[in-house]
């Protein structure tokens, strides 16, 4: 059983939670960790020593005495240990390095052409991670070699690239790292991302759907105390990630939360890239809004142009955004009634579209059972543009902690 597979109760006082308490400042000593977890001091000490041996925690000196021996203080190392993160989109990618507490060290946005194929796109993004790690003097002791594609280490656990997390804008079989039938990624079907990256970097590479990583990053940032949540990523496409019992829920094959091809419009309906008609993505995604406006004679180039029209109060664009919000709300109403989450949060580029969010919220209240919405939070994802790489980093950190 991996740390992602364990029930939330089993993680109480587990290595990941101990690391999180130290990273957030909730605990600065073994005694604090014992008090927060309810575990015995000897059990906490064992787990802390394992984390220290892996370079995930360090002792920073003696703390204030409370009547006995001064406790040794704990901290997350800041001396160079980083994880790499790639959040790939249809037209742009966010690439960064983050420390072991999940804080961004460096990040940048790069243009990409998804149609260039997986080898070219992923090769360039891995090289960018190499550049970021190499430009950080503290982390360069464990950098990925741009010349050989292998990891160069100096033997220091705290001075190494510990792994890379990658978010893909399409269905991912998480157990294998393979992409399965993506609708907007020509040439990517069946591509084994994990195997491709393993031949180029000598660190763990964890691959998942981009909506899952947004959900993980948003949840760890904004609502780590909640057990059940749904996070929607609405941009060029539409997807969602599900948090159940405090952990990312992927389902049997990794497709849990894929709402993009749920049908919301009866025939005649817009054709979808999946081959069906009337899918949520075909009527409510950013790409769908661009297409609909063009069909109405409104000259618009991309999603940025759509958002600009909405912000300017364009009647046609605003009406389409409200229709899109209702469509998203109709699908989410089924999800909320069935799953009963504590929060539903909208992220992605369309999250700042107020007409869409307002329409989605109204539809949820109209279609859901009163008990399901009694305490339901309906909000925007507020973690910013780094939410995807934050989720990718936490995926790697969880993997490293589980190994420890």
- pLDDT at 63 (0 to 100): 56
- pLDDT at 25 (0 to 100): 80
- pLDDT at 288 (0 to 100): 95
- pLDDT at 148 (0 to 100): 34
- pLDDT at 26 (0 to 100): 84
Report the length, in residues, of the chain: 404
pLDDT, average across residues 136-161 = 44
The answer to whether 356 touches 288, Cβ cutoff 8 Å, is no
Residue 157, pLDDT > 70, answer no
- pLDDT at 53 (0 to 100): 87
pLDDT tier at 1 (50, 70, 90 boundaries)?
Answer: very low
Q: Which of 259, 234, 246, 223 minimizes the C-alpha distance to 343? A: 223
The pTM assigned to this predicted structure is 0.85
Would you tell me how many other CB atoms lie within 10 Å of the CB of residue 70?
12
Residue 370, pLDDT > 70, answer yes
- pLDDT at 262 (0 to 100): 95
Return the half-sphere exposure (C-beta side, CA atoms, 13 A cut-off) of residue 145: 11
| Max Cα distance, the chain (Å) | 77
Residue predicted with more confidence, 131 or 343: 343
Sort 291 into a burial class: Cβ within 10 Å, 0-12 / 13-18 / 19+.
Answer: middle
Residue 119, pLDDT > 70, answer yes
Residue predicted with more confidence, 46 or 153: 46
Distance of alpha carbon 27 from alpha carbon 204, whole angstroms = 28
- Which residues 6+ apart lie within 8 Å of 155 measured at CB? none
Distance of alpha carbon 134 from alpha carbon 141, whole angstroms = 8
Distances (CA, A) of 146 to 129, 151, 381: 10, 9, 35
Q: What is the pLDDT of residues 248-276, one digit of tens each?
A: 999 999 999 999 999 998 767 899 888 88
- pLDDT at 159 (0 to 100): 42
Residue 79, pLDDT > 70, answer no
Q: How would DSSP label each residue in 313-360? A: T-HHHHHHHHHHHHHHHHHHHHHHHHH--SEEEEESGGGG-HHHHHHH
- pLDDT at 12 (0 to 100): 62
Residue 236, pLDDT > 70, answer yes
Q: Are strands 178-179 and 172-173 parallel, antiparallel or unpaired?
A: antiparallel
Q: What is the pLDDT of residues 317-342, one digit of tens each?
A: 999 999 999 999 999 999 999 999 99
- In the predicted model, what is the mean pLDDT of the chain? 87
Residue predicted with more confidence, 153 or 56: 56
- Structure token pair of residue 344: 């539903």
- pLDDT at 404 (0 to 100): 64
Q: Are strands 161-168 and 72-75 parallel, antiparallel or unpaired?
A: unpaired
- pLDDT at 151 (0 to 100): 35
SS3 263: strand
- pLDDT at 223 (0 to 100): 94
- Structure token pair of residue 309: 């029209």
Q: Are strands 238-244 and 247-249 parallel, antiparallel or unpaired?
A: antiparallel
The answer to whether 132 touches 360, Cβ cutoff 8 Å, is no
Residue 138, pLDDT > 60, answer no
- pLDDT at 70 (0 to 100): 66
Q: What is the pLDDT of residues 346-364, one digit of tens each?
A: 999 999 999 999 999 999 9
The answer to whether 165 touches 206, Cβ cutoff 8 Å, is yes
pLDDT, average across residues 308-313 = 96
Lowest mean pLDDT among 106-115, 158-167, 206-215, 387-396: 158-167
């Amino acid at each position: 059983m991996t740390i992602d597979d364990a029930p939330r109760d089993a993680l109480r006082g587990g290595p990941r939670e101990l690391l999180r308490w130290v990273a957030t400042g909730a605990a600065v000593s073994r005694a604090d960790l014992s008090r927060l977890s309810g575990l015995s001091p000897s059990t906490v000490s064992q787990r802390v020593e394992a984390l220290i041996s892996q370079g995930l925690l360090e002792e920073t000196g003696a703390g204030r005495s409370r009547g006995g021996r001064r406790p040794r203080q704990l901290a997350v190392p800041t001396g160079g240990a980083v994880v790499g993160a790639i959040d790939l989109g249809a037209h742009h990618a966010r690439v960064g390095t983050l420390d072991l507490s999940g804080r961004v060290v460096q990040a940048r946005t790069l243009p990409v052409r998804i149609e260039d194929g997986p080898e070219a796109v992923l090769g360039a993004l891995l090289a960018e991670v190499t550049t970021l790690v190499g430009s950080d003097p503290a982390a360069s002791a464990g950098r990925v070699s741009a010349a050989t594609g292998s990891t160069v280490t100096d033997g220091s656990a705290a001075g190494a690239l510990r792994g890379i997390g990658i978010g893909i804008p399409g269905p991912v079989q998480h157990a294998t790292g393979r992409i399965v039938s993506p609708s907007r990624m020509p040439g990517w079907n069946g591509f084994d991302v994990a195997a491709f990256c393993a031949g180029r970097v000598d660190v763990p590479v964890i691959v998942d759907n981009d909506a899952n990583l947004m959900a993980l990053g948003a949840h760890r940032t904004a609502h780590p105390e909640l057990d059940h949540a749904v996070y929607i990523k609405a941009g060029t496409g539409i997807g969602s990630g599900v948090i159940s019992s405090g952990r990312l829920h992927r389902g049997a094959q990794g497709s849990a939360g894929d709402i993009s091809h749920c049908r919301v419009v009866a025939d005649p309906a817009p054709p979808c890239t999946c081959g069906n008609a009337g899918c949520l993505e075909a009527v409510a995604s950013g790409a769908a809004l661009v297409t609909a406006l063009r069909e109405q004679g409104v000259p618009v180039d991309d999603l940025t142009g759509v958002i600009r029209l909405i912000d300017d109060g364009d009647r046609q664009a605003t009406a389409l955004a409200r229709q899109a919000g209702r469509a998203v709300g109709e699908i989410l109403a089924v999800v909320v009634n069935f799953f009963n989450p504590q929060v539903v949060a909208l992220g992605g580029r369309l999250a700042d579209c107020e007409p869409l969010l307002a329409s989605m919220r109204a539809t949820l209240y109209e279609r859901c059972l009163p008990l399901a919405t009694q305490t339901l939070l309906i909000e925007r994802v507020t973690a910013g543009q780094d939410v995807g790489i934050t989720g990718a980093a936490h995926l790697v950190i969880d993997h490293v902690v589980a190994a420890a």
